[in-house]
Amino acid sequence: MPFHSLRIGRAAGQAGSIAVTLLGLLMLTFFIGRMMPADPVRAMVGEDATRETYEQVYRALGLDRPLWEQFFYYLGDVATGNFGTSIRTGQPVIKDILHVMPATIELATFAILIGALLGIPMGVLAAVNKERWPDHVIRVLSLMGHSMPIFWTGMIALIVFYAHLGLVGGSGRMDQFYIGLVDERTGFLLIDSLMAGEMDVFWSALNHLILPASLLGYSSAAYITRMTRSFMLDQLGQEYVTTARVKGLSRAQTIWLHAFGNIRVQLVTIVALAYGSLLEGAVLIETVFAWPGFGQYLTSNLIIGDMNAVMTCVLIVGVIFIGLNLFSDLLYRFFDPRTR
């Protein structure tokens, strides 16, 4: 019974922590949105609107109320799922985001798969060969991936692999010829094209996805490699590794079963945070590749001062990171029974 009560208490404490975090995120999002120099009323009515029209819309939006009162109205709207209407599209903001988010999820998912499949083995290889040529080569590659601006690498990659070599697709999610041939059921173009049996659309979408996903994946792989190397070096210096070798375990068994097994929990958090960074940090790569996703939606609305859309995007980014942290906590318990 005491153990059951302890579990309930921990769950209640975690729920309370999430609630406080979300409230703080809402407050931060709201007040930053109000302090930004963009004028939502002017963006809505245009530069040529009369003073009377401006003041009418100003009052209709509730901007004449005190800030604390506006915040409570904002809380009430968010609680009911009302995030306002986009000035640019004239549709509810949440509807716009649900429309563009699958494109970013598709891009980020492929990128994190590339990043994890490259970064984790490279980090282990670098740690095992510390201060030898494989370690030096991998560290240089990681430094390049972490240092080069993604918009620069995106433009160079488009010039080389698309314009000159013609190995991959260019901007957009597919060739212009195929636009409108597949109905959007899930929003994930690869899945929708397979469900519709349109293999030409599928291969066109995959061809356009390869280059931006690879660039984002390389950037993530650089971060994951560095963290994996650091974690592995810490484990390889422990006494149990020497003990395992003395007992007759092979080098591969010692590295992968023991040392790597002890860093899996840490890698879960690293990969989860890297995935969250891809979801919210694909702004530049989506702009370069004209990828109609969440990042491009945020950028275009920020330029015109559509604060309903911008504030909702910022809020969603925060919720994504909170959700990924919770998910990584659950995976902790799966990989490490001691945390249960």
Answer yes or no: are the C-beta atoms of 271 and 116 closer than 8 Å.
Answer: yes
Under DSSP, is residue 85 helix (H, G, I), strand (E, B) or coil?
strand
Answer yes or no: are the C-beta atoms of 129 and 233 closer than 8 Å.
Answer: no
- Reading the block at residue 325, the tokens are 């942290």
The CATH class for the domain spanning 101-290+331-339 reads mainly alpha
From the list 256, 166, 269, 254, the residue with the least C-alpha distance to 211 is 166
In tens digits, the chain (340 residues) has pLDDT values of 455 555 665 656 667 777 787 788 788 878 877 777 667 777 677 777 777 887 887 787 777 778 888 888 888 888 888 888 887 787 888 999 999 999 999 999 999 999 999 999 999 999 999 889 999 999 999 988 888 888 888 889 989 998 888 888 888 888 888 887 888 888 898 998 998 888 999 999 999 999 999 999 999 999 999 999 999 998 888 888 778 777 777 888 888 888 888 888 888 888 988 888 887 667 788 888 988 888 888 888 887 777 788 888 888 888 888 888 787 777 777 766 655 5
Q: Which residue has the tokens 């972490």?
A: 146
Domain boundaries, the chain: 101-290+331-339
What is the model's pTM? 0.84
Q: Is 204 left (phi over 0), alpha (psi -120 to 50) or beta?
A: alpha
Q: Which residue has the tokens 């809402």?
A: 26
What does the alpha-carbon distance between residue 139 and residue 126 come to, in Å, rounded to a whole number? 8
Answer yes or no: are the C-beta atoms of 58 and 64 closer than 8 Å.
Answer: yes
Show Cβ contacts of residue 321 under 8 Å, excluding neighbours closer than 6 positions: 273, 276, 280
Q: Which residue has the tokens 């979801």?
A: 279
Q: What share of the chain is helix, strand, coil (3-state, %, to 5)?
A: 80, 0, 20
- Reading the block at residue 128, the tokens are 């095992």
Bridge partner residues of 92 (DSSP): 85
Q: Which residue has the tokens 């996703």?
A: 293
